[in-house]
Amino acid sequence: MTVTRTVRAVRAALADRRDGTIGLVPTMGALHDGHLALLRAARASCDTVVMSLFVNPAQFGEPSDLNGYPRDEERDLTVADEAGVDIVFAPTAGEMYPPGYQTWVDVTELGATLEGIHRPGHFRGVATVCLKLFTIVRPTLAFYGQKDAQQVEVLRRMVRDLHLELGLRVVPTVRDEDGLALSSRNVQLTAAERTRALALPRALQTRDPETARRILESGDLVVDYVELAPFDPPVLVGAVRVGSTRLLDNVPIDEER
Ligand code: AMP
């Protein structure tokens, strides 16, 4: 596995691999089995697998959220290597946003609903970094998790609107045995908070926004929103705060229970 830190180095590592298919798995690290599902899907369908590992400052609001985001690069590189990743692209923030940087992509309507209301500028940061990764890596396919359903929707819109020549592949949400969707943020939960957090998957399983809200509010969680979203596929999506941790999840409403 080759680890690259600069745009120039990742392009050089890809130069003689462009005859085959290239799969890109964008991550912010602190890898878990959800990320592994994406890496496996990429490994199964692409000649070359590139994983990016970049905690993108542009998609964070509060500096405390960015600074507190879990990081463990050494372990991530071992996990990526074992998953068969060919090339890791782990740039610094300065490599991606050098002094003078001022170009942004905004998916104006989709990016301003749901998560966009509670995290202004979040999807502008996501769309911009993904477009940059797409132009740097030039993947045949990019792999994303259904866990972040609105992110997928925003990126699909960007790919269509900008005529980008790549395919998006969406991998089902990976959950712990107790139903909680895997997330790098779960390590921030205390044992008691984790138990309270289980109300989120339980509420979404009802597929009914009113019932879900009742379950969440009686479970001592702060509900940012819980709503049906007309995505592909349609989902019941919810975001809650448990202590200082914010959790996001969704359930496709036409999926078998
Ligand atoms: P992140 O590192 O949190 O930015 O996530 C990187 C990618 O992994 C995104 O496409 C996420 O949607 C996906 N992902 C995160 N958690 C899960 C999960 N529990 N199941 C499936 N995919 C996930």
pLDDT digits (tens, 9 = 90+) for 221-251: 999 999 999 999 999 999 999 999 999 999 9
Report, as residue numbers or ranges, the catalytic residues.
Answer: 35
Q: What is the pLDDT confidence band of residue 256, given thresholds at 50, 70 and 90? A: low
User: Percent of the chain, pLDDT > 90?
Assistant: 98
| pLDDT higher than threshold 90 for residue 255 | no
In contact, 171 and 144? CB cutoff 8 Å: yes
**pLDDT at site 195:** 96
Q: How big is the chain by its Cα radius of gyration, in Å?
A: 18
Q: What is the pLDDT of residues 131-158, one digit of tens each?
A: 999 999 999 999 999 999 999 999 999 9
What whole-number distance in Å separates Cα of residue 228 and Cα of residue 14? 41
The predicted model scores a pTM of 0.98
- How many residues are recorded in the chain? 257
Pocket residue to mutate for ligand 1, from 24, 28, 144, 200, most atoms within 8 A of Cβ: 144
Is the CB of 184 inside a 6 Å radius of any atom of ligand 1?
yes
Q: What is the pLDDT of residues 152-209, one digit of tens each?
A: 999 999 999 999 999 999 999 999 999 999 999 999 999 999 999 999 999 999 999 9
The residue contributing the CA closest to ligand 1 atom 11 is 145
Is the CB of 144 inside a 6 Å radius of any atom of ligand 1?
yes
What whole-number distance in Å separates Cα of residue 111 and Cα of residue 122? 8
Pocket residue to mutate for ligand 1, from 147, 170, 187, most atoms within 8 A of Cβ: 147
CA-wise closest residue to 42 among 165, 145, 149: 145
Q: Work out which ligand 1 atom sits closest to the CA atom of 28.
A: 2
**pLDDT at site 257:** 63
Is the CB of 38 inside a 6 Å radius of any atom of ligand 1?
yes
What whole-number distance in Å separates Cα of residue 62 and Cα of residue 85? 32
